[in-house]
A = this chain, B = another copy of it.
Amino acid sequence: MDFDPASLRFDANGLVPAIAQDHATGEVLMLAWMNAEAVSRTLTTGRVTYWSRSRQAFWVKGETSGHTQRLVEMRIDCDRDCLLMLIEQAGPACHTNRRSCFYTALRAGEERIILDPMA
């Protein structure tokens, strides 16, 4: 692999934001964070692996829940400080059991829940 994760522009904590988008529907499912090693592991294994800021540990998405993310393609933005991952999501991406974490919309100045948890 010629691509070097160290060539990305990480923030002061050594992280970049990574957007997960359903490769088939285009739905944006979540945003989490990756350090260089998480990027490398994601590319090598094809299983999306984040860095958990709260736990300060690698987080193989779905490792405990089974709601895995298979990497279809990783894209880099023009500033090299953000990643877009086209993925195949097994089940819900959100810990609330919803397909996407972005289930709260602002409509007429109020918050509205627009997605139900998956059955």
Task: Spell out A's residues near B (CB within 8 Å).
Answer: 1-3, 17, 19, 21, 25-28, 30-31, 43, 73-79, 82, 84, 94-96, 98, 101-107, 109-111, 114
Quickly give the copy total for this chain: 2
Is the beta-carbon distance between A102 and B77 smaller than 8 angstroms? yes
| Contact, CB under 8 Å: A75 / B105 | yes
* Further contacts, 15 of them, CB under 8 A, given A43-B109, A73-B107, A82-B102: A2-B111, A3-B110, A17-B17, A25-B26, A26-B26, A26-B27, A28-B28, A28-B84, A30-B77, A75-B102, A75-B104, A75-B106, A76-B111, A78-B98, A79-B101
Residue of B nearest to A103 (CB): B78
- The reply to whether B28 and A106 contact each other, CB–CB distance below 8 Å, is no
User: Least Cβ distance of A67 to chain B in Å?
Assistant: 14
* A109 and B31 within 8 A (CB): no
- Pick the contact of A101: B26, B30, B78 (CB < 8 A): B78
B77 adjacent to A109 (CB under 8 Å): no
